[in-house]
Chain A
Amino acid sequence: MLKVNDLKVEVNGKSILKGLTLNIGAGEVHAIMGPNGSGKSTLSHVLSGRDGYEVVGGSIELDGEDMLALSPEARAWKGLFLGFQYPVAIPGLNSSVFMREAVNAQRRSRGESEYDAMDFLSISREKMKLLDMDESFMSRAVNDGFSGGEKKRNEIYQMALLEPRLAILDEIDSGLDIDALKVVSEGINKLRSPERSLIMVTHYQRLLDYVVPDFVHVLSGGKIIRSGGRELALELEESGYGWLEQDMAAAE
């Protein structure tokens, strides 16, 4: 479904991703792990089309369509969702109004009729119930005054409403205590489906105890240096990233 081929990205002339290749099939859950500065967040941002990153080589295709040619919103309409590491607050903007516009923008792009306020209310209630969330979320301003845990749960709620083909969750576990992590993980698991693929970008293997991935990739120095199954994450936890990087250095 998602094909990233030999992707090379620079920021202010500095090379960050140096030929990254990644294939993700429908319904698969992939974890991308790596030390700080390895290019994990850059990958999330480039996939979703953020400004400030220059793609100097390679390609990104979602369901056979060239993503690099599309604006961030057009990528969202194609079913690409990014769960932010630091969801930004928009004071005064009601969450429910915000998400109704987001859902309707997507529906318009597909030539579907827009939801009116009542339709949307019942759909959002259903999703909140699924994720065991308090309805007061809807009446608050977008991420304004939210705790770290609330922000991350809100990201998952937004994902539930938008029903993406591909969700990239960028360090969704950062800043969460163990209870919040469990709640957020539970939500993610409820949203797993054979049609939906997931990329979990994380520094720690802890998250993967709760959301068990099909594949694990290690990103280091702008490239994927090792891919494997679930056990790779456990190995990393035991030995750290050091041994892999040394391996790499030896091989070069």
Chain B
Amino acid sequence: MATESQEIDRYISREYEHGFVTEVQQDTFPPGLDEGVVRAISAKKNEPEFMLEYRLKAFEIWQQMEPPEWAHVHYPAIDFNSISYFSAPKADSDKPQSLADVDPEILETYEKLGIPLHERAALAGVAVDAVFDSVSVATTFKDKLAEEGVIFCPLSEAVHDHPELVKQYLGSVVPTADNFYAALNAAVFSDGSFVYIPKGVRCPMELSTYFRINALNTGQFERTLIIADEGSHVSYLEGCTAPMRDENQLHAAVVELVAMKDAQIKYSTVQNWYPGDKEGKGGIYNFVTKRGDCRGARSKISWTQVETGSAITWKYPSVVLTGDDSVGEFYSVALTNNYQQADTGSKMIHIGKNSRSTIISKGISAGKAENAYRGLVKVLPGATGARNYTQCDSLLIGSRCGAHTFPYIEVQEPSAQVEHEATTSRIGEDQLFYCRQRGIAEEEAVSMIVNGFCKDVFTELPMEFAVEVQRLLGVSLEGSVG
């Protein structure tokens, strides 16, 4: 069936749509990293003293660390001195004061990406913070959110306007020394989103950030911090794209979520970074640390992600279930094609009594791609009645790709219940023939089968993303019946 799988490969591979480059004047640091660069980043942003100290300490820690090598991915060693650590669109004034001040070319870029940056997007009910290379260029709906007491702004602004919150929470979920890339991020992070939902407030709209790496040879190191105070609710969406470049670009982000008593955070990602070309040249190295802390009783954190981009993805959104009766969820679809490599999964750390977690992971591999699920479920002593359910399914398209599963389970509490299920299947010639015999052409058939495979995860996505995701995977929208 060799010809059959080539056919399938042809259908599953699409040219990258977001590979355009925006011509704006950039203020970019020369490549290289030393203490001077860290100080310069801090100075560039007029940061208060506590932030500079935070960065310098992180840089010191990072210098003593080694890049991790345990992941099931292969790439040449990264020369951290060949990367520029700061790049910002050069504006006439220091930075845009309102949407009207944003460079029209940047706005056009976001238009192309289909992001409702303008206020007219009110219809969509999504507030967007857009991060272009290293800086946050626009945050919509600030006023409306302020009425509810919700703070949604670039982190670079939060360090000035809400230093007490930043001091209290930054690094409280992902400590600087957590891992190599988290330490690097803490030293050089440029910007990102900051969200604070006050007690008892249900955030009136979906919050959204769109990340884009535009400049050549730049790393993007954004940092997101979301705090949901007692009894509050928030749903947050994150999207990412990058232009096509022959060089690999580094993206090392850190996302920290804190859910207090009875609070709920839903964090959804559609990651479509440039994956490199068909021969595996170029593409984004996506080394990300995402972690949430269910700090209060009955709190809930839910990660949903659809990953179709990046040359290499190394990412394990996690939940630390500190509070009693807290809930952690992870729903993931990771599609790898051509020479893409993904080592992704989740960690659930049970500390609170009766804490519950669910992991649903769907990996799809095509071409010569390698897709690995790596997950840790850890139940600490005293987490009585803790429960976890993990389901990990892999779908192979063609015969040259790989799927791997590395589940780690550490249970130190006898009353805990942990379940793990895993399946691997191949889009079968018999499934395709069945569809085609019914009159459904091969391309559409592949889409329908993949879509069906991902269904458990897609149903978890907010409506705003559902459409985009289906398009991303090249699938037609499932019927509006029922």
Chain A positions near chain B (C-beta within 8 angstroms): 48-52, 71-73, 76-77, 81-82, 84, 86-88, 90-94, 96-103, 105-106, 109, 117-118, 120-121, 139, 141-142, 158, 162
Interfacial chain B residues near A100, Cβ < 8 Å: 479
Provide the main secondary structure of the chain B interface: helix
Instruction: Choose among B435, B437, B480 the residue with the greatest number of A CB atoms under 10 Å from its CB.
Output: B437
Interfacial chain A residues near B392, Cβ < 8 Å: none
Who on chain A is nearest to B449 by CB?
A90
Known: A52-B1, A121-B481. A98 touches B437 (CB 8 A): no
Interfacial chain A residues near B34, Cβ < 8 Å: none
Q: Is B452 an interface residue (CB 8 A)?
A: yes
> Which of A73, A93, A142 sits near B441, CB closer than 8 Å?
A73
Say whether B454 contacts A71, CB under 8 Å.
no
Say whether A97 contacts B479, CB under 8 Å.
yes
> Which of B433, B449, B456 sits near A93, CB closer than 8 Å?
B449
Who on chain B is nearest to A76 by CB?
B439
Say whether A94 contacts B478, CB under 8 Å.
yes
Say whether A158 contacts B438, CB under 8 Å.
yes
Say whether A102 contacts B479, CB under 8 Å.
no
Who on chain B is nearest to A144 by CB?
B452
Say whether A77 contacts B439, CB under 8 Å.
yes
Say whether B452 contacts A91, CB under 8 Å.
yes
Interfacial chain B residues near A103, Cβ < 8 Å: 439
Say whether B439 contacts A73, CB under 8 Å.
yes
Q: Please report the total number of B residues contacting A with Cβ < 8 Å.
A: 32
> Which of B4, B429, B442, B481 sits near A117, CB closer than 8 Å?
B481
Q: Least Cβ distance of B447 to chain A in Å?
A: 10
Who on chain B is nearest to A83 by CB?
B437
Who on chain A is nearest to B476 by CB?
A101
Interface residues of B in 205-252 (CB under 8 A from A): none
Interfacial chain B residues near A90, Cβ < 8 Å: 431, 434-435, 448-449, 452
Say whether B436 contacts A101, CB under 8 Å.
no
- Can you spell out 24 A-B residue pairs with CB atoms less than 8 angstroms apart? A73-B437, A73-B439, A73-B441, A76-B438, A84-B437, A86-B430, A90-B434, A91-B453, A94-B482, A96-B481, A97-B479, A98-B435, A99-B438, A102-B440, A105-B439, A105-B440, A105-B444, A117-B481, A118-B481, A120-B479, A139-B482, A141-B452, A162-B438, A162-B439
Query: How many angstroms between the C-alpha atoms of A158 and B428 in the bound complex?
Result: 21
Query: How many angstroms between the C-alpha atoms of A109 and B440 in the bound complex?
Result: 11
Query: How many angstroms between the C-alpha atoms of A84 and B479 in the bound complex?
Result: 25
Query: How many angstroms between the C-alpha atoms of A90 and B479 in the bound complex?
Result: 16
Say whether A50 contacts B480, CB under 8 Å.
no
Interfacial chain A residues near B456, Cβ < 8 Å: 92
Interface Cβ pair total, 8 Å cutoff: 102
**What 7 A-B pairs have minimum CB-CB distances, sorted nearest first?**
A92-B452, A93-B452, A76-B439, A92-B455, A102-B438, A72-B436, A105-B439
Provide the main secondary structure of the chain A interface: helix
Query: How many angstroms between the C-alpha atoms of A162 and B435 in the bound complex?
Result: 13
Interfacial chain A residues near B442, Cβ < 8 Å: 73
Say whether A82 contacts B437, CB under 8 Å.
yes
Q: Least Cβ distance of B73 to chain A in Å?
A: 28
Q: Is B451 an interface residue (CB 8 A)?
A: yes
Q: Least Cβ distance of B272 to chain A in Å?
A: 22
> Which of B430, B444, B479 sits near A94, CB closer than 8 Å?
B479
Who on chain B is nearest to A101 by CB?
B440
Additional A-B contact list (20), CB under 8 Å, known A51-B433, A92-B451, A93-B448: A49-B436, A49-B437, A51-B1, A72-B433, A76-B436, A76-B437, A81-B437, A82-B437, A87-B434, A88-B430, A90-B435, A90-B452, A92-B452, A92-B455, A93-B452, A97-B478, A100-B479, A103-B439, A139-B482, A158-B438
Chain B positions near chain A (C-beta within 8 angstroms): 1, 3-4, 428-431, 433-442, 444, 448-449, 451-456, 476, 478-482
Say whether B437 contacts A72, CB under 8 Å.
yes
Interfacial chain B residues near A97, Cβ < 8 Å: 448, 478-479, 481
Interfacial chain A residues near B429, Cβ < 8 Å: 51-52
Who on chain A is nearest to B478 by CB?
A97
Query: How many angstroms between the C-alpha atoms of A77 and B434 in the bound complex?
Result: 14
Say whether A101 contacts B437, CB under 8 Å.
no
Say whether B453 contacts A92, CB under 8 Å.
yes
Known: A76-B436, A139-B482. A105 touches B452 (CB 8 A): no
Interfacial chain B residues near A91, Cβ < 8 Å: 452-453
Interfacial chain A residues near B431, Cβ < 8 Å: 88, 90
Instruction: Choose among B3, B431, B480 the residue with the greatest number of A CB atoms under 10 Å from its CB.
Output: B431
Q: Least Cβ distance of A235 to chain B in Å?
A: 33
Q: Least Cβ distance of A7 to chain B in Å?
A: 19
Interfacial chain A residues near B433, Cβ < 8 Å: 50-51, 72
Q: Least Cβ distance of B363 to chain A in Å?
A: 15
Interfacial chain B residues near A99, Cβ < 8 Å: 438
Query: How many angstroms between the C-alpha atoms of A168 and B294 in the bound complex?
Result: 58
Say whether A98 contacts B439, CB under 8 Å.
no
Query: How many angstroms between the C-alpha atoms of A99 and B441 in the bound complex?
Result: 13
Interfacial chain B residues near A93, Cβ < 8 Å: 448-449, 451-452, 455
Q: Least Cβ distance of A65 to chain B in Å?
A: 16
Interfacial chain B residues near A50, Cβ < 8 Å: 433, 437
Say whether B437 contacts A48, CB under 8 Å.
yes
Query: How many angstroms between the C-alpha atoms of A88 and B445 in the bound complex?
Result: 13
Say whether A109 contacts B452, CB under 8 Å.
no
Interfacial chain B residues near A94, Cβ < 8 Å: 452, 478-479, 482
Say whether A101 contacts B430, CB under 8 Å.
no
Interfacial chain A residues near B444, Cβ < 8 Å: 101, 105
Say whether A98 contacts B448, CB under 8 Å.
yes
Say whether A117 contacts B437, CB under 8 Å.
no
Interfacial chain A residues near B4, Cβ < 8 Å: 51
Who on chain A is nearest to B428 by CB?
A88
Interfacial chain A residues near B435, Cβ < 8 Å: 90, 98, 102
Query: How many angstroms between the C-alpha atoms of A171 and B477 in the bound complex?
Result: 34
Say whether A92 contacts B436, CB under 8 Å.
no
Q: Least Cβ distance of A97 to chain B in Å?
A: 5
Q: Least Cβ distance of A51 to chain B in Å?
A: 6
Interfacial chain B residues near A71, Cβ < 8 Å: 436
Q: Least Cβ distance of B36 to chain A in Å?
A: 54
Query: How many angstroms between the C-alpha atoms of A88 and B481 in the bound complex?
Result: 24
Query: How many angstroms between the C-alpha atoms of A42 and B433 in the bound complex?
Result: 14
Interfacial chain A residues near B439, Cβ < 8 Å: 73, 76-77, 102-103, 105-106, 109, 162
Interfacial chain A residues near B1, Cβ < 8 Å: 51-52
Q: Least Cβ distance of A53 to chain B in Å?
A: 12
Say whether A117 contacts B436, CB under 8 Å.
no
Query: How many angstroms between the C-alpha atoms of A98 and B454 in the bound complex?
Result: 15
